Amino acid sequence: MTRTLPGLVALVACATLGCSDPGGVSPKNVIAEMGSDVGTADAPDLGSPVISVVVEPSNLAIERGRTATLVAQVLADGREVAEAVTWSSSEPGIVEVTPTGVVIGHEFGRAVVSAAVGDVRGEATVRVTGPPVDRIEVSPTSRQMAVGSTVTINVVLIDAQNATIEDPRDVSFASSDEARVTVTADGLVTAVSEGGATVTTRVEAASAVSEFVVIGEAGIDRVEISPVTSQLLRGETAQLIATAYTGGATVPGAVFVWDSDASAVATVDGTGLVTAVTQGSATITAASGAIEAGATVNVQFAFSEIAAGHDFACGLVGGAAYCWGRNDVGQLGRADTSEAPGAVATSLRFDALAAGAQRACGLTAAGAAYCWGAGNSAPTLVGGGHVFSALYAGYQLVCGVEGASLWCWDPASSPTLAGSFQSAAVGQTHRCAVSGTSASCWGSNDFGQLGINAFGGSYPAPQPVSGGFQFSRVVVGRDHSCGTTTSGASLCWGANEAGQVGDGSTTDRPTPLLLSGGASVGRLTVGIDHSCGLASDGAAYCWGRNDAGLLGTGANGAVLVPVAVATSVRFSQISAGDRFTCALSLDGDPYCWGLGDRGQLGVGGSSAMPTRVLGL
């Protein structure tokens, strides 16, 4: 029901024009005259400004793992006013928003991000997408078909970094001659009549063409492929052989059309030569007329190990080494200067890797060490006939354990005995090693990095680490060190200006201290001035310097105690480089985060959150 309010028109006029008649209508008189008939819910609030919140941009698309900033304008009677807003996201698992309006794309999808002042709010729609489509791969690319037969075109989207795009995109199909072949919106091709036609697949600005030849009934009644199953590493090839039969007899000179149902995994040429592209499974078919057969190709590309160097990283897949990042002195193990992920130019297979400032080394199953970089792009055997069980790379030196002995060398020297240790860590200014359960360090001690409860000096001989701890492993950075005890406790010591010791302070520590913050972190790794580790469930934690997002938290700013890396991915290994970190997921996928100015993340730039290495 609508109630007429006496004097309301006069009240509005006076509020607009200003009334001075003492006996006239005033807001106070009108309210008094209205009396109890005017409820508080119906009375207009004429003293409060009309507030609105506008969020710009109102529609935003960002790539997964990237960030962008939204701006909120608070308006009162059409004028901008300074009011604090509260940000929120309808789907924080897809799009997270910080108190300053920075949105972070976590997963593919969309969310509504709101900026509120009290009960008044403005909204923006944020979509999390993958990168633009650079090209598309279709299968089949060519096919002979019998009249009435059908086949579905499979589409794989590839970005400019040669990585498969995971989020859905709009796909269209068009036949050049629907009298010969038709195609549905889902890519189902039907052979209508004899002759040739093409089907063009389009996604964004990219397109690909599939050629079809429609024929009548063929005399061939069976096709076989050998081998039926192949196991390949990425980049390897295999020759498949197809044979046609009719009535149990082979058909000489039969022509086959070869195709792959997953060309992003494995491709096949017109002769049946298969090339493995990346991890997964593909079915390779050979068709003669309407008769075809299939063979399975399994491509292995799960990483077994990862190692981050100064501004490059390497990993192992089936023993083959792959590297990415800076390549000015051959540290990627190949002669070209590309920073993109690629295979080390060798047929050698390795069981372990180590990466330092300008070199990487691999250890074969026989215990032979090969190194590349520091001016030599080809893996070269380390001399001396040593049989190593482990390798450790630092700024200049590489060390290897042979039996109970530690041997070390630089690019210009042969291995020399450094002591009796079963594990070691090599930094820029110092080294540490473990013998039994005792840890020792030697080298520069300017920041207490030797852990001997003193600052300063340089010690050429190993010095026992103070505190009486029993260590199982130690790791070192530029000027700080960390270690894990036999009971699973984690400690750090040395330079701490960025909080890399993890004790909640920025005070240099000359003796080992337990990590603060309550996180139970093991499997430690340290970079120049940050540290990371893994919890028992594979969750990653980092602390210390945090410019360029190198701690993987989605934000910048030093962190003085271990904090969780912003990802739901769980890891089996983690390795810190200069201003970046890489880790292996439980499925063997490599992820990196931090500074990416030299391609060391393998993602085409920097990232404040773990992002899967592309192009692998």
Predicted pLDDT of residue 131: 85
Mean pLDDT, residues 105-112 taken together: 91
Contacts of 272 (CB under 8 A, 6+ apart): 225, 239, 240, 241, 242, 256, 258, 284, 286
Write down the pLDDT at residue 31. 32
pLDDT of the residue at 515: 96
Q: How far is CA 405 from CA 383, 408, 416, in A?
A: 16, 10, 10
User: Which of 9-18, 101-110, 140-149 has the largest mean confidence?
Assistant: 101-110
Q: At residue 169, does pLDDT exceed 90?
A: no
- Point out which residues pair with 313 in neighbouring strands: 308, 324
Helix (H, G, I), strand (E, B) or coil at 13: helix
Residues β-bridged to residue 343:
322
Residue 216 confidence (pLDDT): 61
Q: Name the band, by pLDDT with cuts 50, 70 and 90, for residue 243.
A: very high
pLDDT at 421 over 60: yes
pLDDT band at 1 (very low <50, low <70, confident <90, very high): very low
The predicted-structure confidence for 457-467, as pLDDT tens digits, reads as follows 999 999 999 99
Tell me: pLDDT of 582 over 70. Answer: yes
Question: 565 falls in which pLDDT band (50, 70, 90)?
Answer: very high
Q: What's the whole-number mean pLDDT along residues 359-382?
A: 97
Mean pLDDT of 71-76: 92
Taking CA atoms, 456 is separated from 325, 404, 441, 495, 506, in Å, by 35, 30, 14, 12, 18
- Give tens-digit pLDDT for 300-331: 888 999 999 999 999 999 899 999 999 999 99
Cα–Cα distances (Å) from 107 to 96, 103, 130, 281, 606, in that order, read 10, 12, 10, 25, 18
Listed range (167-171, 265-269, 543-547) with the worst mean pLDDT: 167-171
Residue type, 516: S
User: pLDDT tens digit string along 346-360?
Assistant: 999 999 999 999 999
46-70 mean pLDDT: 83
Instruction: Report H helices in 395-551.
Output: none
Place of tokens 């210390």: 544
Write down the pLDDT at residue 585. Answer: 95
The string of pLDDT tens digits covering residues 189-240 is 998 887 889 999 999 899 999 999 887 655 688 999 999 999 888 778 999 9
Q: What integer is the mean pLDDT of 549-571?
A: 94
pLDDT of residue 5: 31
Mean pLDDT of the chain, nearest integer: 88
**200 DSSP β-pair partners:** 174, 209
Which DSSP string do the residues of 551-616 spell out, in sequence order? TSSSS-S-EEEEEE-S-S--EEEEEE-SSEEEEEETTS-EEEEE--TTSTTSSSS-EEEEEEPS--
d(CA 613, CA 593): 10
Give the pLDDT score at 616: 65
392 has a pLDDT exceeding 80:
yes
> Is the model's pLDDT at 28 over the cut of 50?
no
Q: What is the structure's pLDDT at 166?
A: 79
Q: What is the pLDDT of residue 48?
A: 53
In whole angstroms, what is the distance from residue 531 CA to residue 101 CA? Answer: 29
Q: Residue 34 — pLDDT band, cuts 50, 70, 90?
A: very low
DSSP label at 544? E
* Model confidence pTM above 0.85: no
DSSP of 257-305, one letter per residue? EEEES-TTTEEE-TT-EEEE-SSEEEEEEEEETTEEEEEEEEEE--EEE
Report, as an integer, the average pLDDT of 20-41: 36
Please write the tens of the pLDDT for every residue from 272-304. 999 998 888 999 999 887 789 999 999 888 899
* pLDDT (0 to 100) of residue 567: 96
Three-class secondary structure of residue 123 per DSSP: strand
